């Protein structure tokens, strides 16, 4: 449905000497809009510089070709790859590609100027997808970058289309970005439609266009279970402290490491990712496929013990008493609340939640693992959902969640997080991190369950590659930002180069990330991150996204070097290994 007769193609034509800011929540279609703008410019043989900060140029080219682009002339489409090097992959300069670092705004401006000079002409379209990652690395410095570089580039007879995610930073910073722009276009999703709002524009009056969206595949369709590894997991969880998955370092990991990975990646989409993770954890909790991997005695026991009517308080109480997995994997301790529960509405208390411990009073409910898993367990016959009502993150001494049959309007708002909450959590993690590295203070310690969780919990906290390309990007970028920040703080504290690296290796071994050694390369045996890929996906390639990003961010600051993963357990190698370049 189009209003005022204005076509989408007209909006996608970026005027000369203009900086247009395209904003909207993650997943609202900004990249699709950008790709269509680029395709129109390729067709018109207009020179294009495409800055990519969230995926590789080869992925962008693949998307453009899927949309009908042929082989562009060499002088028409050039790339600045500000993604690959940032996350610890190999960026190979080519005639049409210049490498830059997303965490270094100066490298972005230098790379753009270099390509501009190589092209030797004006009327260039600079497509910047997106400003979000540079902003999350550099903060408000991105506003100065827009004012002093992007606006200047546009004023020289060129055009700039810059994308930015809403909800991934401070509202006042987004407002400042908008004040710099000559035009503002907002995308958002309303029901089954994508809405494009022209807020201001140098050539077009304010207007709105609605586009019908295609349905997306579900998370369930992407799940895969590796039988051998799943059996090891089941044996490990049933066997308590007996190691079955990681024979050398044990099947437990300090909960600080997966929480660092979880909340570092969450910076890139604090509203969408919690919902995806809830859906996945709930699906995993249903165990309909996993049960086939249990020993036959256990399957029989489950069948005998599983209550028949979970709408009744006595049956739900029986299930809570029976389900000891949270305690055995040390993700929490459950207690059914008789006094407030009733038919079809049950309240369960969660003590010492591994998701929430250490994040007191950050201003939100945080438990993502146990409530969703338990809702899944209850959903064998009928759908149930879990809404957290009390949380350590809200200042409560424990967490509580409400189980309700079917859908509830309370669920989604309880899952979504404000970016300011995620930043507070990230700062809390950094403070604990530095306390450990500099003063030997404990990272986290719970009175009953201790500091460790089973690798199954770590897998869920760190996220899964099959959640999609954007989630993998967030894991990489989140790791790079945390590694860079830790490196900077160590150097500011007077710990330099080899001393800083040694402390980080000791930290990773303390957390039981795996068995970590460093020489000419960095090697991790039994790395907890690669296990989740073997368990849940058919991916058979290097997949330690967070660990690689973290090490790369650290080495880029401390040693002015980069790391690249060259071997991975998920690829069938005996260990995960990174070269230092």
Taking the C-alpha atoms of residue 88 and residue 480, their distance in angstroms, rounded to an integer, is 8
The alpha carbon of 31 is separated from its chain's Cα centroid by a whole number of angstroms, namely 17
Same domain, 54 and 151: yes
Same domain, yes or no: 46 and 146? yes
**How far is it, in rounded angstroms, from Cα 210 to Cα 189?**
9
DSSP, res 465: G
Residue-wise pLDDT for 96-154, tens only, equals 899 999 999 999 999 999 999 988 888 999 999 999 999 999 999 999 999 999 999 99
Q: Are strands 399-405 and 345-351 parallel, antiparallel or unpaired?
A: antiparallel
Contact between residue 204 and residue 213 where contact means Cβ atoms under 8 Å apart: no
- Residue 122 confidence (pLDDT): 84
375 lies in the same domain as 523: no
**Residues with Cβ within 8 Å of residue 172, at least 6 apart in sequence:** none
- What number is the average pLDDT over the span 54-72? 89
pLDDT reading at 234 higher than 70: no
401-433 as b/e: b if 16+ CB within 10 A:
bbbbbeebeebeebbbbebebbbbbbebbeebb
Last residue of a domain, one of 387, 417, 447: 417
> Tell me, what CATH number does 375's domain have?
3.30.1380
Say whether pLDDT at 3 is over 50.
no
**pLDDT interval class at 73 (50, 70, 90):** confident
Choose the final residue of a domain: 193, 212, 231: 212
Same domain, 397 and 479: no
pLDDT at 347 over 90: yes
Are 100 and 42 members of one domain?
yes
What pLDDT is recorded for position 235? Answer: 65
The answer as to whether 265 is a domain residue is no
Residue 471 has pLDDT above 90, yes or no: no
In a domain? residue 341: yes
Domain of residue 574, CATH code: 3.30.1380.20
Q: Are residues 400 and 536 in the same domain?
A: no
Q: Tell which residue, 339, 336, 340, 268, has the closest CA to residue 307.
A: 336
Predicted local distance difference test score (pLDDT) of residue 504: 98
Which pLDDT score is estimated for 232? 65
Mean pLDDT of the chain: 89
Read off the pLDDT of each residue in 284-289 and give the average, rounded to a whole number.
65
Residues 208 and 85 in one domain: yes
From CA 514, how far away is CA 492, in angstroms rounded?
28
**Predicted local confidence at residue 521, as pLDDT:** 97
Residue 459 in domain = no
| Residue 451, in any domain of the structure | no
Strands (E), 97-190: 97-99, 125-129, 159-165, 183-190
Q: How confident is residue 290, by pLDDT bands cut at 50, 70 and 90?
A: low
State the distance between the two ends of the chain, measured CA to CA, in whole angstroms.
53
Between CA 269 and CA 419 the distance in angstroms is 8
Residue 350: CB partners within 8 Å, gap ≥ 6?
326, 332, 333, 334, 367, 370, 371, 398, 399, 400, 401
> Which pLDDT belongs to residue 108?
97
The C-alpha atoms of residue 239 and residue 270 are separated, in whole angstroms, by: 36
Nearest by Cα to 231 from 176, 186, 292: 292
Domains held by the chain: number: 3
Q: At which of 396, 417, 438 does a domain end?
A: 417
Looking at the structure, tell me whether residues 362 and 504 fall in a common domain.
no
Asked whether residue 293 carries a pLDDT value surpassing 70, the answer given is no
Q: Give me the CATH number covering residue 201.
A: 3.40.50.300
Question: Is it the case that residue 508 has pLDDT exceeding 80?
Answer: yes
pLDDT over threshold 50, residue 221: no
Looking at the fold, whether 162 and 29 belong to one and the same domain comes out as: yes
**Structural domain contains residue 335:** yes
**pLDDT given for residue 130 in this prediction:** 94
240 in any annotated domain: no
Both tokens of 408, joined, read 């509830």
Q: Which domain holds residue 144?
A: 8-212
Q: Are 162 and 149 in contact (CB under 8 A)?
A: no
Is the sign of the CA dihedral 167, 168, 171, 175 positive or negative?
negative
CB-CB contact of 187 with 22 (8 Å): yes
pLDDT category of residue 456 using cuts at 50, 70 and 90? confident
Run of H or E residues at 390: strand 384-390
Distance CA 18, CA 20 (A): 6
Burial class, 176, CB count within 10 angstroms (exposed 0-12 / middle 13-18 / buried 19+): middle
Residue 540 lies in a domain: yes
- At residue 171, the pLDDT reads 92
Q: Are residues 170 and 74 in the same domain?
A: yes
Q: Which residue has the tokens 């997991």?
A: 233
Mean pLDDT throughout 343-351? 97
In the chain, the percentage of residues whose pLDDT exceeds 70 is: 88
Q: What are the φ/ψ torsions at residue 108 (nearest 5 degrees)?
A: -70, -45
Domain-located, residue 383: yes
126 shares a domain with 26: yes
What is the average per-residue pLDDT within 512-539?
A: 87
Q: Are residues 279 and 195 in the same domain?
A: no
């Amino acid at each position: 449905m189009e209003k005022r007769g204005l076509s989408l193609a007209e909006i996608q034509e970026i005027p000369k000497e203009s900086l247009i800011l395209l904003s909207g929540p993650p997943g609202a279609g900004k990249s699709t809009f950008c790709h269509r703008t680029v395709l129109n410019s390729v067709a018109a043989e207009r020179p294009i510089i495409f800055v990519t900060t969230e995926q590789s140029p080869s992925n962008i080219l693949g998307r453009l070709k899927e949309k009908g682009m042929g082989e562009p002339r060499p002088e028409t489409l050039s790339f600045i790859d500000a993604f690959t090097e940032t996350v610890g992959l190999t960026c190979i300069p080519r005639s049409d590609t210049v490498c830059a670092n997303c965490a270094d705004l100066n490298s972005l401006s230098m790379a753009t100027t270099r390509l501009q000079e190589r092209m030797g002409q004006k009327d260039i379209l600079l497509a910047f997808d997106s400003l979000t990652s540079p902003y999350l690395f550099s903060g408000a410095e991105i506003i100065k970058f827009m004012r002093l570089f992007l606006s200047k580039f546009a004023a020289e007879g060129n055009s700039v289309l810059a994308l930015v995610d809403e909800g991934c930073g401070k509202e006042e910073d987004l407002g400042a970005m908008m004040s710099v722009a000559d035009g503002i276009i907002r995308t958002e999703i309303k029901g089954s439609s994508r809405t494009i709002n022209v807020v201001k524009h140098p050539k077009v009056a304010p207007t709105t266009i609605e586009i019908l969206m295609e349905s997306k595949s579900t998370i369930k369709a992407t799940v895969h279970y590796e039988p051998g590894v799943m059996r090891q997991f089941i044996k490990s969880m049933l066997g308590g402290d007996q190691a079955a998955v990681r024979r050398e370092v044990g099947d437990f990991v300090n909960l600080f490491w997966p929480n660092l990975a979880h909340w570092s990646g969450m910076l890139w989409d604090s509203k969408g990712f919690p919902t995806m993770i809830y859906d996945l954890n709930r699906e995993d909790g249903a165990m309909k496929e996993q049960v086939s991997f249990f020993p036959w005695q256990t399957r029989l026991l489950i069948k005998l013990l599983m209550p028949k009517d979970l709408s009744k308080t006595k049956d739900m109480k029986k299930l809570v008493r029976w389900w000891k997995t949270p305690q055995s994997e040390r993700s929490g301790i459950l207690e059914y609340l008789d006094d407030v529960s009733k038919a079809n509405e049950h309240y369960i208390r969660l003590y010492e939640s591994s998701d929430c411990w250490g994040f007191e009073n950050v201003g939100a409910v945080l438990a993502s693992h146990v409530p969703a898993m338990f809702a899944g367990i209850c959903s064998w016959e009928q759908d149930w959902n879990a809404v957290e009502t009390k949380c350590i993150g809200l200042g409560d001494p424990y967490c509580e969640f409400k189980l309700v049959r079917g859908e509830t309007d309370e669920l989604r708002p309880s899952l979504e997080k404000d970016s300011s909450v995620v930043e507070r959590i990230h700062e809390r993690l950094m403070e604990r991190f530095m306390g450990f590295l500099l003063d030997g203070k404990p990272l986290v310690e719970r009175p009953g369950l201790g500091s460790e969780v089973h690798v199954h919990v770590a897998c869920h906290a760190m996220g899964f590659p099959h959640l999609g390309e954007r989630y993998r990007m967030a894991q990489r970028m989140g790791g790079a930002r945390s590694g860079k920040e830790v490196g900077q703080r160590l150097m500011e504290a007077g710990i330099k180069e080899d001393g800083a690296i040694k402390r980080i290796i000791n930290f990773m071994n303390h957390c039981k990330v795996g068995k970590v050694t460093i020489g000419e390369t960095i090697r991790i045996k039994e790395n907890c991150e690669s296990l989740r890929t073997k368990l849940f996906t058919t991916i058979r390639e290097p997949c330690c996204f967070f660990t690689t990003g973290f090490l790369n961010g650290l080495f880029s600051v401390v040693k002015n070097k980069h790391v690249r993963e060259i071997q991975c357990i998920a690829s069938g190698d005996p260990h995960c290994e990174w070269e230092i370049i």
